[in-house]
Structure 1
């Protein structure tokens, strides 16, 4: 029986890991490689229009409410307070959670409804995290949701029902898949100790075993992209599984050990296979810069500058990716401000929301998502289908550009902040005679050019009406 003290301690690991990653955006000198396949280009540009998605981490780690997978790694930053339990016993306990994972309340329609009300346009769902527990009905291992106490439930093939629910909301579908698999004997071999996150044997000495792992990985990716309807995004996590020659300063900055050999799963073959199954599918081989990283994915933070290349910040709604008890969720105003900054800098926001062990979003999560959606219902024109411009910011104002050359000036407002009688900016001038409006309001605003600035007057009725909101958006035609 795993003690409550240890449960609490591992919960703390979740927040520590989140804090470790928060606002840490690793610089890289590697140039982005824009895809050449026209079908991939078409889907990529469509994805760039969507701006806002949901990332759902759900697995056996939801049962005790602890950090996903990482507590079974034997690295210095992982601490387990209960020193009476051996590392091997802990791993057995963790993997044994599969026998307790029986989410009778599993309701993907609730998830999809909440995401749609939030204004989200795509989903990325964890088909398998690093711990190797599969949330789809794979035929290549028994370690899966459809083989435990949930196996007789009509929705036992969880990924199918998640993807179907989000397709019903006309969302793009993304499959998260972990390249490392710590449960597989072809990755963490019981014959050896498991000193860190990497494969625990020398691939050069045991090529057969690694080839079996590569075959297993390809078989599972073939299943995901063959058996689950239209998949738009293959989101590959576990960037330490990569060719040795691609290890760069960014990878070294993680502080994880680097083996002296490649952990190569033959990405060219993976790409060929999944694109035969799903024409134009986006591949996101996270942090492995090159032809199989169709967009980049900074985690728990926002880059300092605008980038014209496709990218997406993945940021949690609370303090953890998955469900943990008593998590503290960001106010909707904070998420809206993150979304504004990310979009103005050229990115998308992928917001992490973790369901409970019973398979439901908490009321607090749902209410936050509804509040975000209420703002986007009025102001989404300044977010969706826009692109970034070099002069993306002036003071507190962020700017985006629509496809018909319209410009949007977005002013975030803090809690209790009052709108002033005017808004001024020195960049992105309106065209002479341009009409300036506030999204959601019909009246035209008076404006003038003065000493190199555009000064927009805000009448008292709008100052009073809009001061309580998270942000206001001005729309106008630019020069």
Structure 2
């Protein structure tokens, strides 16, 4: 039998408990109490492997945009490796630097910081462009190999708030990009920044900045050491490499953290510490976070594989990513930088998506914060196509085959990027995606009026379970499409008018 407490006594007990809790809080640290979900990952691979490395939002997004933009955008010469090449006397960058800025011992890379003004930068306009281009996530190269932070950093004085723009570039971008409903990515290349070669005669290829006496990268100035990575290794790993990651995670809550190469040279303990810190922070904010890596430096049960300037030639069993640049040269802006044709960028996206991949497309802004018009035009042309026919891209997955046609992708990673650059698709190449009870066949080029197309992937000898087709339509056309399914495949007569110059989408609805 339960005895009921008198109401006045019950009230007194509650007041006493509340008072005790308030007093206890005054004696506690001001640090927020960690939730159970925040503590769900420990710093070991087995625990981190419990992370869903590719949440649905990421697999369905298909297209993201990032950008190489920083101090290297000021000289706008050669490429984003200007800060390294300017120290080698036999390199064209050295000669350019000598003629335009002086000897690198007197005008070092850090001297570009005051010249990086970003005076025309408008994060809202950028974010709107990304939306119009069809991207579902976007964000900056937060730091390249050069030691310059594109955010308001307390770890290094070489950042956009203390120097140059005197603005929190990453903070402005996060607000604008998330404000447009996009996910936010921050890319990190800074694992290469550490001065691993610290004596003359040592292999200088292992460091981004070469170790030459009398040059700023060998300076004993503490501020310059923070830019050039000339710091005791263990201190740099913990306070600089890991510290910067934690700073960006705490202040900007990225949905994706992407890593460039050399990550494997960071001691495993620090890679584990980063992953646990990021994933626990994301949990606390109810974020489904994504970690992307380029080489075999993080397990694939907790990260996504990235292929630079290349892609798979088979269907990926897991979600994967390609990072490629819109330009036909440097990743950062350089004078007279050309861009790829819009149709080639679109075809690359279609091919990637047909194999369960995601495209991270790089653009190259100018130092003043403007995006060159030829890049804008290329993005908008692709975005216009995606607005019309994006149902064949977003939220889809690979069919039993990625496609058919004469054009084949090479194997390999970055080592074959030149071969990937040379690929040109035609209307003889078809790529497939599927969603619910729909199969999309994307013809990679212009079709002609009344053209007969045979989709051989529907041939009885190729597909294990021939789908029962209900309707066949061509997106963008109201014409009734004539079609016939036979043992040889699906024969389709195209509409009387050409639908699109870049790619045509055939929508095939099958029975439930």
TM-score, normalised by the number of residues in structure 1? 0.77
- The CA deviation string for residues 335-382 of structure 1, in whole angstroms up to 9 with x for no partner, is 111111111122111111011110111222212111111111111011
**Residue equivalent to 2:264:** 242
Q: Do structure 1's residue 317 and structure 2's residue 330 form an aligned pair? A: no
Tell me if the contact between 2:352 and 2:358 (Cα under 8 Å) persists in the aligned partners. Answer: yes
Q: 1:47 to 1:449 in 2, by over 3 A?
A: same
1:195: Cα distance to partner?
Answer: 1.3
Q: Do structure 1's residue 277 and structure 2's residue 281 form an aligned pair? A: yes
Q: Do structure 1's residue 209 and structure 2's residue 213 form an aligned pair? A: no
1:117: Cα distance to partner?
Answer: 0.5
User: In 2, Cα distance between the equivalents of 1:98 and 1:284?
Assistant: 29
Q: 1:146 to 1:84 in 2, by over 3 A?
A: closer
**What secondary structure, in the 3-state scheme, does the structure 2 residue paired with 1:82 have?**
helix
User: In 2, Cα distance between the equivalents of 1:268 and 1:221?
Assistant: 13
**Residue equivalent to 2:121:** 106
Q: Do structure 1's residue 233 and structure 2's residue 256 form an aligned pair? A: yes
Q: Do structure 1's residue 401 and structure 2's residue 434 form an aligned pair? A: yes
Unaligned residue ranges in structure 2 (runs of 5+) = 1-45, 212-230, 406-428, 460-465
**Residue equivalent to 1:163:** 174
Deviates more, 1:71-80 or 1:375-384: 71-80
Q: Do structure 1's residue 454 and structure 2's residue 490 form an aligned pair? A: yes
1:303: Cα distance to partner?
Answer: 2.4
Tell me if the contact between 2:469 and 2:509 (Cα under 8 Å) persists in the aligned partners. Answer: no
1:70: Cα distance to partner?
Answer: 5.1
- The CA deviation string for residues 407-428 of structure 1, in whole angstroms up to 9 with x for no partner, is 10110115xx635522111224
1:180: Cα distance to partner?
Answer: 2.3
Q: 1:444 to 1:418 in 2, by over 3 A?
A: closer
User: In 2, Cα distance between the equivalents of 1:240 and 1:178?
Assistant: 8
User: In 2, Cα distance between the equivalents of 1:147 and 1:433?
Assistant: 62
Tell me if the contact between 1:345 and 1:388 (Cα under 8 Å) persists in the aligned partners. Answer: yes
Tell me if the contact between 2:473 and 2:507 (Cα under 8 Å) persists in the aligned partners. Answer: yes
Q: 1:419 to 1:213 in 2, by over 3 A?
A: farther
Tell me if the contact between 2:282 and 2:289 (Cα under 8 Å) persists in the aligned partners. Answer: yes
**Could you tell me which of 59, 74, 84 is aligned with 1:72?**
84
Deviates more, 1:287-296 or 1:330-339: 287-296
Q: Do structure 1's residue 355 and structure 2's residue 365 form an aligned pair? A: yes
Describe how 1:274-423 pairs up with structure 2 within 5 A.
274-279=278-283, 280-291=288-299, 294-318=303-327, 319-395=329-405, 396-402=429-435, 404-413=436-445, 418-423=448-453
**What secondary structure, in the 3-state scheme, does the structure 1 residue paired with 2:338 have?**
coil
**Residue equivalent to 2:39:** none
**What secondary structure, in the 3-state scheme, does the structure 2 residue paired with 1:278 have?**
helix
Q: 1:126 to 1:408 in 2, by over 3 A?
A: same
User: In 1, Cα distance between the equivalents of 2:455 and 2:48?
Assistant: 36
User: In 2, Cα distance between the equivalents of 1:77 and 1:419?
Assistant: 57
User: In 1, Cα distance between the equivalents of 2:368 and 2:197?
Assistant: 29
**What secondary structure, in the 3-state scheme, does the structure 1 residue paired with 2:306 have?**
coil
Tell me if the contact between 1:72 and 1:90 (Cα under 8 Å) persists in the aligned partners. Answer: no
User: In 2, Cα distance between the equivalents of 1:427 and 1:76?
Assistant: 56
**Could you tell me which of 66, 72, 90 is aligned with 1:55?**
66
Tell me if the contact between 2:332 and 2:364 (Cα under 8 Å) persists in the aligned partners. Answer: yes
**Could you tell me which of 155, 162, 165 is aligned with 1:140?**
155
**What secondary structure, in the 3-state scheme, does the structure 2 residue paired with 1:120 have?**
coil
Q: 1:313 to 1:62 in 2, by over 3 A?
A: same
Deviates more, 1:381-390 or 1:439-448: 439-448
User: In 2, Cα distance between the equivalents of 1:91 and 1:240?
Assistant: 30
Tell me if the contact between 1:234 and 1:283 (Cα under 8 Å) persists in the aligned partners. Answer: yes
**Could you tell me which of 465, 469, 474 is aligned with 1:438?**
474
Q: Do structure 1's residue 82 and structure 2's residue 95 form an aligned pair? A: yes
Q: 1:419 to 1:308 in 2, by over 3 A?
A: farther
Tell me if the contact between 1:110 and 1:360 (Cα under 8 Å) persists in the aligned partners. Answer: no
1:150: Cα distance to partner?
Answer: 2.5
User: In 2, Cα distance between the equivalents of 1:35 and 1:471?
Assistant: 41
Tell me if the contact between 2:481 and 2:493 (Cα under 8 Å) persists in the aligned partners. Answer: yes
Q: 1:149 to 1:82 in 2, by over 3 A?
A: closer
1:52: Cα distance to partner?
Answer: 0.8
User: In 2, Cα distance between the equivalents of 1:433 and 1:241?
Assistant: 48
User: In 2, Cα distance between the equivalents of 1:271 and 1:365?
Assistant: 34
1:194: Cα distance to partner?
Answer: 7.6
User: In 2, Cα distance between the equivalents of 1:162 and 1:108?
Assistant: 5
User: In 2, Cα distance between the equivalents of 1:127 and 1:425?
Assistant: 44
1:478: Cα distance to partner?
Answer: 4.3
Q: Do structure 1's residue 267 and structure 2's residue 271 form an aligned pair? A: yes
Instruction: Kindly indicate whether structure 1 or structure 2 has the higher relative contact order, using CA contacts under 8 Å at least 6 residues apart.
Output: 1
**What secondary structure, in the 3-state scheme, does the structure 2 residue paired with 1:231 have?**
coil
- The CA deviation string for residues 228-271 of structure 1, in whole angstroms up to 9 with x for no partner, is 1x31111122x22425xxxxxxxxxxxxxxxxxx7556211111
